[in-house]
């Protein structure tokens, strides 16, 4: 074996994440910083890939020999021997990919124990109970994780013995009880698998390492990677083999998790939780509720200070908030892991800005440190403070992930998923969550658990998802069989509404109204830095003064898409619109249009007022006309009466307007080319509004252009109106949306005639890929699952196809006009990866929904900084 697959902790460092995984490379780094880390070695990610691609999912002898030689070095350091019957060296076997996937892959502890060494361990530690408890835990974990025996079967054996002893807790069992448990477990293994529990430590180790490699492709890991958009280049996990230290060797031992800052708020306080006489899994799994760090300070200040020191060293070293695991073995502190801590968006912003102020990182690094998608959390509504104050708090839990959530109660992940598919908003209520609950958590508005701490599964995953979560709410009682949640004396059945404040941990009955978030404090500081470094202009898609005001508050620099047809649907004018559609000649049509015009003018005045001189791209009428007409028989009769035509006339109009493929039908500029009076009316409303509002900057946008002549015909219509209204002094532009592939292909011709382009990537994606968004549901998810498309091309720009066309469009246009202004509007404008792409191909602006403006801005700044 010429290639190096196994590394001592002394051989690696933090930069070797891709090869050694996040956990392993950090163990190496800590080792080099002289932090007390139990020794060990790492089997690399390369080995994992070889395991799948070359070794037929079985470790070859060469690699076994290789890690045996590394084990010898560990034995030397510890002065113990792996598998020794007198004083056995025991190890943990853990996964560790380049990107953290907490709880997704397998772990085995206490590996190296067998029927003989358990006796030596008992003797050496003078703690028979500890030795047998370790052995029974090892058999249970190994049996489940490596040998695939249902965990419940082990629990059942344990329960039988507890019942026979009439005790409630594991801790009430003594050494001889635990010996019986071991016997029962070994019998179970033989029964289930037809073989004896492996006694040879190196057999155990080989099986353990293989199990971790295999767990890379278990179902929940695959789902996790998909949910978190983990790139395909992250392909495999390393295995960390490390000497065991024990937090469960009695009351001078313990284990815990700590953060160099508060991961929920970002406040610069040392933060953590621990349990004495416990193993790490006990804290993370949320089975017992742990103590806060402040208790440790009281109980053992020296140890607390040592931990705090390591925390500070590590934060300074990594220049970021650290998430650390530690174990105290008989009074001695070991650091088992450190990594950049997961945090809420609020914490992320707080930490980033604080670190700049503390001089640890630069503004640019701060901007680059925040995942743009994550700050979505900060942009979601919170409860209305007054309403919340007046509402009775039914109970309190840990504020595990901030934000507000309102929904009906569901008790399992499947229900949550199903109801969400039906458009219902739900709160997932569980005793505790496990990786099997992932899909349900994703589907819920918020999560409430009755057990587990701030670092429990529910809390960690919810924070990652930016989803409101209250964990460990012991005030609440759940009956899974009756499907009831009892809290504060009230009983909630499935379907009843509750409200969660994830920032405070408060639980309320019913629905509390929510209010808009604001861009202030540290968040404002960060966004100002983003403004400083970004190159793209960030605008918003908005059709109303209200949405425009929200977007401007979030920093929008104008409107990138104002869809005028939304105004047509309003109660006050929809019938005038219908009159226009059923018109039989141009005079009737003009009469109806005259009724609509003053409304449109007011719409635009409202928007211009809010914009205070910022530009607004206003798209002329786009949808097919049949969208404005009723579909149901009863509605048809009603509308016919209101509009003043016969039912048969209206029906005939509806039939005439029927289309086989409305997406590709009579819409967009085609309406204006055939009925120029519609475009004239809209142009008149825009110019009159602009003349009434100082500084108004309308950019008039002709939609669905595929041919330069369509554009020039409507440009002439608009210019004629401008002339008639003497609107030459209005600061206006005329341009087109690029959404038809032919427009892209002839962008040079179009650019000659246009003042600007804006990519309508929704339609451009539909036509370029040849699938309609409304219909693609049938196969698109399967396409993503099969890897035909890496992402849903309606969410993230399909760079390979649509992106190539966009790039070509930009090149063609700039060949004609080197400084030509080009933007993008629609869903993709708020997607960070798409924003980065837009920066790369040299667009001038992106436009997105008001609530995504800061996300787009941050993504734009990062794109500029990454250059």
- Residues in contact with a second copy, shown as a per-residue x/- string from 667 to 706 under the rule CB under 8 A: ---x--xx-----------------------------x-x
CB closer to a second copy, 434 vs 707:
707
Quote the CA–CA distance of 84 and 479 in Å, as a whole number.
48
Quote the CA–CA distance of 403 and 382 in Å, as a whole number.
6
Is 195 near a second copy (CB under 8 A)? no
CB of 660 to a second copy, least distance (A): 4
CB closer to a second copy, 423 vs 770:
770
* Contact pick of 231, 269, 800, 842 for a second copy (by CB under 8 A): 800
Known catalytic membership, residue 825: yes
* Contact pick of 218, 544, 662, 792 for a second copy (by CB under 8 A): 662
* Contact pick of 421, 782, 819, 867 for a second copy (by CB under 8 A): 782
CB of 827 to a second copy, least distance (A): 17
Stretch touching a second copy by CB under 8 A, among 3-11, 424-432, 647-655, 779-787: 779-787
Is 664 near a second copy (CB under 8 A)? yes
Residues 6+ apart with CB under 8 A from 571: none
Q: How many residues bind a second copy (CB under 8 A)?
A: 49
Is 742 near a second copy (CB under 8 A)? yes
* Contact pick of 251, 778, 818, 819 for a second copy (by CB under 8 A): 778
CB of 775 to a second copy, least distance (A): 4
Is 262 near a second copy (CB under 8 A)? no
CB of 796 to a second copy, least distance (A): 15
Is 786 near a second copy (CB under 8 A)? yes
Residues 6+ apart with CB under 8 A from 839: 535, 536, 860, 863, 864
The residue whose two tokens read 């790490």 is: 280
Is 582 near a second copy (CB under 8 A)? no
Q: Which residues pair with 427 in a beta bridge?
A: 409, 446
Taking only Cα atoms into account, the Rg of the chain, rounded to an integer number of angstroms, comes to 32
CB closer to a second copy, 390 vs 786:
786
Q: Torsions phi, psi of 395, nearest 5?
A: -170, 170
CB closer to a second copy, 277 vs 758:
758
Quote the CA–CA distance of 177 and 409 in Å, as a whole number.
42
734 within 8 A of 753, measured Cβ to Cβ:
no
CB of 624 to a second copy, least distance (A): 9
134 within 8 A of 110, measured Cβ to Cβ:
yes
For the chain, first and last CA: distance in Å? Answer: 40
Quote the CA–CA distance of 821 and 841 in Å, as a whole number.
13
Is 661 near a second copy (CB under 8 A)? yes
CB of 237 to a second copy, least distance (A): 26
Distance (Å) of CA 753 to CA 294, 697, 817: 69, 19, 10
Other CB atoms within a 10 A radius of the CB of residue 298 amount to 9
Strands 81-82 and 88-89: parallel
CB closer to a second copy, 175 vs 745:
745
Stretch touching a second copy by CB under 8 A, among 126-134, 218-226, 341-349, 743-751: 743-751
Distance (Å) of CA 184 to CA 130, 158, 165, 190, 199: 18, 8, 15, 10, 16
CB of 786 to a second copy, least distance (A): 7
Is 816 near a second copy (CB under 8 A)? no
Specify burial of residue 58 (Cβ count, 10 A radius: 0-12, 13-18, 19+).
exposed
Known catalytic membership, residue 457: yes
Judged by CB under 8 A, the chain residues 705 through 734 that form the site for a second copy are 706-707, 709-710, 713
According to DSSP, residue 756 is labeled E
Stretch touching a second copy by CB under 8 A, among 53-61, 329-337, 418-426, 744-752: 744-752
CB closer to a second copy, 434 vs 746:
746
238 within 8 A of 43, measured Cβ to Cβ:
yes
Pick the catalytic residue: 48, 473, 769, 825? 825
The residue whose two tokens read 């041919």 is: 707
| 487-518 per-residue burial string, b: 16 or more CB within 10 A, e: under 16 | beeeebebeebbbbbbbbbbbbbeebebeebe
CB of 369 to a second copy, least distance (A): 35
The residue whose two tokens read 């807790």 is: 169
Residues 6+ apart with CB under 8 A from 228: 99, 101, 464
* Contact pick of 292, 488, 606, 801 for a second copy (by CB under 8 A): 801
How large is the greatest C-alpha to C-alpha distance in the chain, in angstroms?
104
* Contact pick of 767, 838, 861, 863 for a second copy (by CB under 8 A): 767
- Supply 700's token pair: 């008039």
Judged by CB under 8 A, the chain residues 30 through 69 that form the site for a second copy are none
Q: H/E element holding 419?
A: helix 413-421
Is 666 near a second copy (CB under 8 A)? yes
Is 768 near a second copy (CB under 8 A)? yes
Residues 6+ apart with CB under 8 A from 214: 57, 106
Is 550 near a second copy (CB under 8 A)? no
Stretch touching a second copy by CB under 8 A, among 213-221, 432-440, 567-575, 802-810: 802-810
CB closer to a second copy, 102 vs 801:
801
* Contact pick of 116, 297, 553, 804 for a second copy (by CB under 8 A): 804
CB closer to a second copy, 141 vs 708:
708
- Residues in contact with a second copy, shown as a per-residue x/- string from 619 to 638 under the rule CB under 8 A: --------------------
Is 769 near a second copy (CB under 8 A)? yes
CB of 233 to a second copy, least distance (A): 18
- Residues in contact with a second copy, shown as a per-residue x/- string from 240 to 259 under the rule CB under 8 A: --------------------
CB of 828 to a second copy, least distance (A): 16
Is 779 near a second copy (CB under 8 A)? yes
Ordered DSSP codes for 703-746 = -S--SHHHHHHHHHHHHHHHHHTT-TTS--EEEEEE-SHHHHHT
Is 745 near a second copy (CB under 8 A)? yes
Distance (Å) of CA 372 to CA 72, 289, 315, 635, 861: 46, 33, 23, 45, 10
Quote the CA–CA distance of 312 and 35 in Å, as a whole number.
12
Pick the catalytic residue: 70, 258, 380, 457? 457
Stretch touching a second copy by CB under 8 A, among 21-29, 212-220, 474-482, 770-778: 770-778
Is 79 near a second copy (CB under 8 A)? no
Quote the CA–CA distance of 468 and 463 in Å, as a whole number.
8
Q: HSE (CB half, 13 Å, CA atoms) of 83?
A: 11
Quote the CA–CA distance of 302 and 428 in Å, as a whole number.
42
Is 784 near a second copy (CB under 8 A)? no
Is 771 near a second copy (CB under 8 A)? yes
Q: Which residues bind a second copy (CB under 8 A)?
A: 659-666, 670, 673-674, 704, 706-707, 709-710, 713, 739-742, 745-746, 749, 763, 766-772, 774-776, 778-779, 782-783, 786-789, 798, 800-802, 804-805
Catalytic residues: 457, 825
């Amino acid at each position: 074996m010429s290639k190096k697959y196994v590394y001592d902790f002394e051989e690696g460092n933090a930069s070797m994440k891709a090869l050694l995984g996040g956990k392993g490379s950090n163990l190496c780094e800590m080792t080099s910083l002289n932090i007390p880390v139990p020794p060990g070695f790492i089997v690399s990610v390369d080995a994992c890939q070889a395991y799948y691609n070359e070794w037929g999912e079985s470790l070859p002898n060469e690699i076994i020999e290789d890690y045996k030689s590394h084990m010898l070095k560990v034995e030397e350091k510890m002065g113990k021997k792996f598998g020794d019957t007198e004083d056995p060296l025991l190890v943990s076997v853990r996964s560790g990919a380049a990107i953290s996937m907490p709880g997704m892959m397998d772990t085995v502890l206490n590996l190296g124990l067998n029927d003989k060494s358990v006796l030596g361990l008992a003797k050496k530690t003078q703690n028979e109970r500890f030795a047998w408890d370790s052995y029974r835990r090892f058999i249970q974990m190994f049996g489940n994780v490596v040998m695939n025996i249902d965990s419940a079967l082990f629990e059942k054996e344990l329960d039988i013995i507890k019942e026979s002893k009439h005790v409630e807790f594991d801790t009430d069992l003594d050494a001889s009880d635990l010996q019986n448990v071991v016997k029962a477990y070994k019998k179970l293994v033989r029964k289930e698998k037809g073989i004896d529990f492996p006694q040879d430590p190196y057999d155990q180790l080989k099986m353990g390492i293989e199990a971790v490699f295999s767990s890379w492709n278990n179902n929940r890991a695959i789902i996790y990677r998909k949910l978190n958009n983990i790139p395909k280049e992250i392909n495999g996990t390393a295995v960390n083999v490390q000497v065991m230290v024990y937090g469960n060797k009695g009351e001078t031992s313990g284990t815990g998790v700590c953060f160099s800052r508060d991961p929920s708020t970002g406040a610069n306080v040392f933060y953590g939780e621990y349990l004495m006489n416990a193993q790490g899994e006990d804290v993370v799994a949320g089975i017992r509720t742990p103590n806060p760090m402040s208790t440790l300070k009281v109980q053992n200040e020296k140890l607390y200070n040592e931990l705090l020191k390591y925390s500070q060293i590590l934060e300074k070293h990594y220049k970021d908030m650290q998430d650390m695991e530690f174990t105290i073995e008989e009074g001695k502190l070991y650091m088992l892991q450190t990594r950049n801590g997961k945090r809420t968006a609020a914490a992320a912003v707080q930490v980033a800005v604080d670190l700049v102020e503390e001089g640890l990182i630069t503004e640019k690094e701060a901007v680059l440190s925040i995942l743009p998608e994550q700050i979505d959390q900060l942009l979601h509504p919170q409860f209305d403070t007054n309403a919340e104050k007046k509402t009775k708090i039914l109970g309190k839990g840990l504020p595990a992930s901030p934000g507000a959530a309102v929904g009906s109660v569901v008790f399992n992940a499947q229900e949550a998923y199903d109801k969400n598919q039906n458009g219902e908003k739900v709160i997932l209520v569980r005793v505790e969550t496990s990786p099997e609950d992932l899909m349900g958590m994703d589907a819920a508005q918020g999560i409430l658990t009755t057990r587990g701490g701030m670092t429990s599964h529910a809390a960690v995953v919810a924070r990652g998802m930016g989803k409101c979560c209250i964990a460990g709410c012991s005030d609440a009682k759940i009956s899974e069989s009756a499907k009831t949640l009892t809290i504060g004396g009230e009983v909630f059945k499935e379907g009843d509404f509750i409200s969660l404040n994830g920032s405070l941990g408060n639980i309320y009955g019913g629905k509390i109204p929510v209010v808009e978030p604001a861009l202030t404090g540290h968040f404002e500081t960060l966004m100002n830095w983003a403004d400083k470094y970004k190159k793209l202009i960030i605008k918003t898609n908005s059709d109303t003064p209200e949405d425009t005001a929200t977007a401007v508050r979030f920093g929008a620099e104008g409107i990138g898409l104002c869809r005028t047809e939304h105004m047509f649907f309003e109660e006050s004018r929809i019938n005038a619109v219908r009159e226009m559609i059923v018109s039989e000649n141009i005079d009737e049509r003009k009469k109806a249009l005259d009724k609509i015009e003053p409304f449109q003018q007011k719409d635009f005045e409202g928007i211009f007022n809010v914009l205070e001189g910022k530009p607004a791209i206003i798209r002329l009428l786009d949808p097919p006309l049949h969208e404005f007409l009723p579909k149901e028989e009863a509605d048809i009769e009603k509308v016919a009466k209101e509009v003043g035509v016969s039912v048969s006339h209206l029906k005939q109009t509806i039939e005439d307007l029927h289309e086989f493929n409305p997406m590709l039908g009579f819409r967009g500029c085609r309406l204006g080319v055939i009925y120029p009076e519609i475009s004239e009316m809209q142009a008149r409303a825009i110019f009159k509004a602009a003349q009434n509002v100082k500084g108004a900057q309308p950019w008039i946008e002709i939609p669905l252009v595929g041919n330069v002549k369509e554009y020039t015909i409507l440009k002439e219509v608009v210019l004629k109106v401008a002339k008639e209204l003497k609107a030459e002094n209005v600061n206006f532009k005329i341009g087109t949306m690029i959404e038809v592939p032919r427009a892209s292909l002839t962008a040079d011709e179009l650019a000659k005639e246009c003042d600007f382009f804006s990519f309508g990537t929704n339609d451009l994606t539909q036509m370029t890929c040849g699938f309609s968004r409304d219909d693609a549901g049938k196969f698109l998810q399967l396409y993503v699952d099969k890897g035909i498309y890496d992402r849903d091309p309606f969410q993230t720009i399909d760079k390979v196809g649509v992106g190539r066309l966009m790039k070509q469009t930009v090149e063609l246009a700039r060949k004609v006009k080197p400084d030509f202004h080009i933007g993008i509007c629609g869903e993709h404008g708020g997607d960070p990866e798409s924003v980065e792409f837009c920066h790369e191909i040299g667009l001038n602006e992106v436009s997105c929904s008001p609530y995504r403006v800061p996300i787009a801005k941050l993504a734009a700044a990062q794109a500029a900084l990454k250059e």
